[in-house]
Amino acid sequence: MKLGGGLAYQQIDNPDVVGVNTVGSFSFGGLATYALPQHLELQGGVTVSRKGAIIVEDAVTTTQRVTSVDLPLTIVRNIDAGRLGYVYIGPGIYYSRHIGGNVYYQTPSSATSDKLEFGPDLDLRRDDFGLDFTTGIRLRNNLLFDVSYQFGLRNIASTRFTDTGTDAIKSRMFTVSLGYFIR
């Protein structure tokens, strides 16, 4: 089991966007491992995470928060750290399925919110995938300290966004987690 928090961001290709800021993110879920030769290990799991960004344009600031179920699969190299435990590091991939979210619009004179809808012609595309990089330490008492970074490769901008000048939206998330390894 892992529980983490961090920062989420979206890379947005739109000439009208003045800036994109991070939002706080969280994730929780389970992790399973499979030992491979040469001190390698396959890590896979299921996590629920909250992602998004604050998008600043001339007259409006939009905050998107997206909840997704992530399926990361990483191959890590375990390095013996003596009596402390094992340090690990490695690359991987992930697949995300967006299951919910909200969008908040703020102008100088008003603020509104709405529920995000997912689909090719709605707010954002439902599926995402990308690269996942992780490093951490697993102590001898099975406590786990982990740092990971998700680098989205899929353009999650729907037709609604691309019709209004947004060429691409790609997710990014940095997470620091604490967990317990159950054997």
Assess whether pLDDT exceeds 80 at residue 137.
yes
pLDDT of residue 28: 97
CB 100 within 8 A of CB 137: no
Write down the pLDDT at residue 34. Answer: 95
Q: What is the pLDDT of residues 13-54, one digit of tens each?
A: 988 899 999 999 999 999 999 999 999 999 999 999 999 999
Angstrom distance (rounded) from CA 137 to CA 76 = 11
- Contact between 65 and 75 under an 8 Å Cβ cutoff? The reply is no
Phi, psi of 36, rounded to the nearest 5 degrees: -120, 165
| Residues 72-128: tens digit of each pLDDT | 999 999 999 999 999 999 999 999 999 999 999 999 999 999 999 999 999 899 999
Q: Is the pTM of this model over 0.85?
A: yes
